[in-house]
Chain A
C-alpha cells in the first residue's frame, strides 16, 4: 500500500512538474512540503517521535517510486529525509529532537548535510573544516561543497574536526558566521540544488553539538548504509523508467518495415536492460532487508550502490540509444535520466570508494 500510495502521488503530482524543474534547475519546495503532510519525510523515524516507524525497505520503496518520475527531486528528498532527518534523529538528544524534528518532519524547514569539502571528498578523514571550543561555544571555520539543498536549506548536519576528531554539529541558517553560496550549475539532478556551506568564525552554542565530541564518525557510519540504499533505490527507479520508455517506443516505432523490437540489435538493449533492472531490484531489496538501526551491512550496501549506479546509467544510455534522435532530445526525458543517473556513480560515495571498501573488507584477516 505504501508503494501504491507513493506511485499514485508520483504519477499525479510529481511527474507533471518534473521537466520544468530540470529545465530551470530549481527544487520544488512546495512538493517537499506536500510529502511532509503525508508523513513521508519521517519514514524511518519511530512513531513515538512523530515518524512512521518503518524500516529501510520502506525508505527504499519511497526513493524508488519518486525517482521513477523525478530523480532530481528524489535526491533533494534523500538529502532532507536521510542525510538530515534520519542522520540527525539517531544522534540527537531529546531536547535537540524537540527543537528540530517537528519543523523538518513537516517540510517547513529543509535539511541537508555537509561532509565533502573543496579538496576532500572520498578521503573524508582528511577534512579541513575545524571546530574550536571557545568558552561555551564552538567556533567553526571551513567550507563544504557539493551540498544538496544548500541553497534552500534551513538546517544542516555538518562535520568538522574538533582536536583532530571528527564531530557533528547542527547548524541553522542565520547563525553568525555561517552562509551558503549560490547554486552550483550541474549536469543532472537539476531538480535539486547544490551549493557550498561556508563557515567563517561560525559560532555555535554548546547545544548544537550532535552526539558527543569526536562522535562524528559514528554518526556518519550509522547513516551511510541507509543513504547508499536510498541512492541504489533511486537507480532502480531510473532504470525502471528508462526500460518502460524503451519498450513502449520499440513497439510504436517502425524501421525497415517492422516494429523496432523485432530488430536483434534493439532486443539486446531491451533484454540486457531488463536483466540489469531486475538485478538492481533483487540486490537493493535483498540488502535493505538486512539493514536497521540495530543491524549493519556495510559490505552489502557498498555492493548495492556500486552495482546499481552503473547498471542504471547503462540502462538510461541504452534507452537514449534505442530512441535515437528522439532519445537525445528532451521530450522523452531519457537524456535527463542519463544525466541524473551519472550522479549516483559519484555522490554518496564514488564507485571507486565502494570498490575500495569492498576490497578492504574482503581482504581483512
Chain B
C-alpha cells in the first residue's frame, strides 16, 4: 500500500506572531511542519506498521510532498526522520501559491505516484483555509473523509472506516481506496488508528512520534526529488490575494464591581449579556 502525505511548512505556532506593515513578519521565522500535517504523517505511519513490533508492513510506502522554497526541504527531512520513505519538493515561492495552485500540482503528482490513500492535515495553522483536501477530492473525483478522529484500515486494504466527530456524536463513514483523508487532532490518540496488523490492545503514546537520532541520520540518505511546477504542467496562478493582516484589538482590562446589583446592571447595560 502506498500513502501520499502532502505537508506544508508554517511559522512555529508556539512562538508569538509579529505583524509588521500589514503583513506577518517572517524575518527569522522558525519554520515547522504544520501540526495537522504532522498528524497526517503519523496516521500514515500507524496505518502501515505493526506498532507493537515497531516494524513496517511489507511493501508499504509513504511519500511526503511539499510545495515550497528550498528551505522547505527541512520539513520534508523531518517527516523522513520519523519514518516516511521518500520525499518530493516542488519548488515554488510561498507567494506564488494558493489552495488552487497546490491542488493543481497535487493532482499531477497523484497521477504520477498513484497512491492508494492521500492523507492531509485538515488545515494549515497559518491561513486556516481548510480547502486543499476537499478540493483535491473534487478534482480527482475520489471519495473523501474529512476531519478524521479515528481510522481503521480494512484487512484487505481496499477501504478505510473513518470516525468523524460531529455535533451529535461520532459519524462513521467507510470510503474505498483510492481516497482522500484529512485528519483532526484526535487522530493521534493512543487507539485512534487501527490497521488489523498492530494488536488492538496496543496503545501508542499520545501525539505524533519524535524522530529518533537514528531516524534523523537515516533521513539524510533518503531520496528527495526536486521538481518545478512546470514539470507538472501547472499553469494555474493564485486567485486569492492577501489584503492585509492585523492583530485583534487588545482586550480591555477587567473591572471589579462593588456589589451584585452593580454587576447585574453592568452586564445588562454595558456588556449586553443579559
Contact surface of A with B, Cβ cutoff 8 Å: 1-2, 4-5, 8-9, 11-12, 37-40, 42-43, 47, 52-54
Between-chain CB contacts (< 8 Å), 27 pairs:
A1-B74, A1-B77, A1-B211, A1-B216, A1-B219, A2-B213, A2-B216, A4-B32, A5-B78, A5-B210, A5-B216, A8-B210, A9-B210, A11-B14, A12-B207, A37-B212, A38-B210, A38-B211, A38-B212, A39-B212, A39-B213, A39-B214, A40-B213, A42-B213, A52-B216, A53-B217, A54-B217
Q: Within B31-59, which residues are at the interface with A (CB < 8 Å)? A: 32
Give chain B's interface residues, CB within 8 Å of chain A. 14, 32, 74, 77-78, 81, 207, 210-214, 216-217, 219
In contact, B213 and A52 (Cβ under 8 angstroms):
yes
CA distance A38 to B210 in the complex (A): 7
Q: How many A-B residue pairs have CB under 8 A?
A: 39
The answer on a CB contact under 8 Å between A52 and B210 is no
What CA separation (Å) do A19 and B175 show in the bound complex?
Answer: 47
Partner of B81, one of A1, A47, A52: A1
Measured between beta carbons, the chain B residues less than 8 angstroms from A43 are 213
Q: List residues of chain A with CB within 8 A of the CB of B217.
A: 47, 52-54
Separation of A12 and B217 alpha carbons in the complex (Å) = 22
Counting from the closest, the 10 A-B pairs by CB-CB distance are A39-B213, A52-B213, A39-B212, A38-B212, A5-B211, A39-B214, A1-B216, A9-B210, A38-B210, A1-B77
Inter-chain contacts of B219 with A (CB < 8 A):
1
* B14, B78, B207, B211 interface centre (most CB from chain A within 10 Å): B211
Q: How far is the CA of A9 from the CA of B212 in the complex (A)?
A: 11
A-side contacts of B213, CB under 8 Å: 2, 38-40, 42-43, 52, 54
Task: Choose among B207, B210, B212, B219 the residue with the greatest number of A CB atoms under 10 Å from its CB.
Answer: B210
B214 touches A4 (CB 8 A): no
Closest B residue by C-beta to A248:
B16
B247 to chain A, nearest CB (A): 15
Residue of A nearest to B38 (CB): A8
Quote the shortest CB–CB distance from B205 to chain A (angstroms): 9
In the docked arrangement, what's the CA distance between A9 and B219, Å? 18
Chain B residue nearest to A47 (CB atoms) is B217
Q: Measured between alpha carbons, how far is A47 from B212 in the docked complex, in Å?
A: 13
The minimal Cβ–Cβ distance linking B239 to chain A, given in whole angstroms, is 34
Q: Give the chain A neighbours of B32 by CB distance below 8 A.
A: 4
Separation of A39 and B213 alpha carbons in the complex (Å): 5
* Alpha-carbon distance between A70 and B206 when the two chains are bound, in angstroms: 22
For A11, the chain B residues whose CB sits under 8 A away are: 14
Smallest Cβ-Cβ distance to B220: which chain A residue: A1
In the complex the two chains form, what is the Cα distance from A254 to B3 in whole Å?
A: 53
Inter-chain contacts of B14 with A (CB < 8 A): 11
Contacts of A47 in B (CB 8 A): 217
> Complex Cα distance A150/B219, Å?
37
Measured CB to CB, the nearest residue on chain A to B32 is A4
